[in-house]
A and B are shown apart, each in its own frame.
Chain A
């Protein structure tokens, strides 16, 4: 089996877990507009996840479809980055996570759109446009909160401090993948640095950085997330409308 399957699976898992986390904001966001925004972004992530996981299932060739991959794997079989499984925290933490995720997904999907694999190129070309809007949204909030009141600045900086160490894992080299994430790092850094500068925020010093998601070694948060996401499917196997 080529690198194509694990790579596609990892991207699909990123989108799926991000969607599930963001959907937790439904009915709980600080204002109605944000409730709609976060639900819509979750829906876009879910759309990308369905395309990626369906394709991953075909690449694997073991008869698993998108549902089998989403609902019938245990935590150690998921290949998402740790960033997306982290709890939402307050709104600033969620925006810090979304900034990092979308500043990574935009160049990733853009590069994917030009890769030799036709299916991945089509998915990249489609998802790129949606991710650009997510990035715009996250950047807008990070600037507004960072360059806002003393309290909003403090909390936005705390949000960035909390998630920044998890960015490294996204760019771990995969030289045999259709797109090597390591090649996206400089564009990501440029994007984030520019947003933080405008937001009067600073990049925290990073020493050791957590990783392991791509090998199935996750935080405990993923297990709880999966328990909630999978419970109905597993309780009623094969149920149909």
Chain B
């Protein structure tokens, strides 16, 4: 079930992204409870993710499993695993920088181009194709690329 992919960024799983918070089995009843948290409150992918998890659970023999959504603690890009970051970069999506602890979004940090590695990049648009991304361009190789915003 941890292999369920993000429907909008299909190279990473919900486990890679830190959307999957826990999987617990009630020892008495054998009923499985899966806890997930959304990246953004309005993320339209959540319904599909829930449905995909249910499908995976049914396939694994848990038709009565419960999928629970929690909002606290709030999701942070710091929860994206190293494997997840590597997969994002390999797919041409620049992974997020660590979040500053004072809660301010670090917009001025250099973002490295996921294709050529150059730090000579510029932001084209503060918002991108999904709620969690911004659009950037590399000044060295001229390629535009997505960047997961630190949150």
A residues bordering B, Cβ < 8 Å?
Answer: 32-33, 36-37, 39-41, 43-48, 50-51, 118, 121-123, 125-130, 132-133, 136-137, 140
Give the residue of A118, A127, A133 whose beta carbon is less than 8 angstroms from that of B41.
A127
Known: A47-B40, A50-B41. A129 touches B151 (CB 8 A): yes
With a cutoff of 8 Å between Cβ atoms, the chain B residues found around residue A48 in the complex are: 41-42
With a cutoff of 8 Å between Cβ atoms, the chain A residues found around residue B41 in the complex are: 44, 47-48, 50-51, 123, 126-127, 130
With a cutoff of 8 Å between Cβ atoms, the chain B residues found around residue A46 in the complex are: 42
Known: A40-B131, A137-B126. A130 touches B71 (CB 8 A): no
Q: How many residue pairs bridge A and B at CB < 8 Å? A: 76
B63 is an interface residue with CB less than 8 A from chain A: no
Give the residue of A45, A50, A132 whose beta carbon is less than 8 angstroms from that of B104.
A132
Give the residue of B38, B105, B128 whose beta carbon is less than 8 angstroms from that of A36.
B128
In this complex, what residue of B is CB-closest to A32?
A: B125
In this complex, what residue of B is CB-closest to A33?
A: B125
Give the residue of B105, B126, B128, B129 whose beta carbon is less than 8 angstroms from that of A132.
B105
With a cutoff of 8 Å between Cβ atoms, the chain B residues found around residue A47 in the complex are: 38, 40-43
What are the 10 A-B residue pairs with the smallest beta carbon separation, nearest first? A47-B42, A47-B41, A122-B72, A33-B125, A43-B42, A122-B71, A37-B127, A40-B127, A126-B74, A125-B74
Task: Compute how far the CA of A140 lies from the CA of B43 in the bound complex, rounded to whole angstroms.
Answer: 24
With a cutoff of 8 Å between Cβ atoms, the chain A residues found around residue B103 in the complex are: 128-129, 132
Question: Majority SS of interface residues in chain A?
Answer: helix
Task: Compute how far the CA of A44 lies from the CA of B42 in the bound complex, rounded to whole angstroms.
Answer: 5
Task: Compute how far the CA of A140 lies from the CA of B75 in the bound complex, rounded to whole angstroms.
Answer: 25
Task: Compute how far the CA of A183 lies from the CA of B105 in the bound complex, rounded to whole angstroms.
Answer: 25
With a cutoff of 8 Å between Cβ atoms, the chain B residues found around residue A137 in the complex are: 126
Interchain Cβ contacts under 8 Å between A and B, 28 examples = A33-B125, A36-B125, A37-B127, A40-B127, A40-B131, A43-B40, A43-B44, A44-B40, A44-B42, A44-B131, A47-B38, A47-B43, A51-B71, A121-B72, A122-B70, A122-B71, A122-B74, A123-B71, A125-B71, A125-B74, A126-B41, A129-B74, A129-B151, A130-B40, A132-B104, A133-B149, A136-B105, A136-B107
In this complex, what residue of A is CB-closest to B46?
A: A47
With a cutoff of 8 Å between Cβ atoms, the chain B residues found around residue A118 in the complex are: 72
Question: Majority SS of interface residues in chain B?
Answer: loop
Task: Compute how far the CA of A36 lies from the CA of B74 in the bound complex, rounded to whole angstroms.
Answer: 24
In this complex, what residue of B is CB-closest to A43?
A: B42
Task: Compute how far the CA of A136 lies from the CA of B108 in the bound complex, rounded to whole angstroms.
Answer: 12
Q: Encode B112-151 as 1/0 by CB contact (under 8 A) with A.
A: 0000000000001111110100010000000000000101
B73 is an interface residue with CB less than 8 A from chain A: yes
Q: How far, in Å, is B123 (CB) from chain A's closest CB?
A: 10
Which residues of B64-123 have CB atoms within 8 Å of chain A's CB atoms? 70-75, 103-105, 107
Q: How far, in Å, is A98 (CB) from chain B's closest CB?
A: 13
With a cutoff of 8 Å between Cβ atoms, the chain A residues found around residue B127 in the complex are: 33, 36-37, 39-41
Task: Compute how far the CA of A183 lies from the CA of B140 in the bound complex, rounded to whole angstroms.
Answer: 49
With a cutoff of 8 Å between Cβ atoms, the chain A residues found around residue B151 in the complex are: 129, 133
Q: How far, in Å, is B128 (CB) from chain A's closest CB?
A: 7
Q: How far, in Å, is B21 (CB) from chain A's closest CB?
A: 13
With a cutoff of 8 Å between Cβ atoms, the chain B residues found around residue A40 in the complex are: 127, 131
Q: Is the CB of B42 within 8 A of A45?
A: yes
Q: How far, in Å, is B131 (CB) from chain A's closest CB?
A: 6
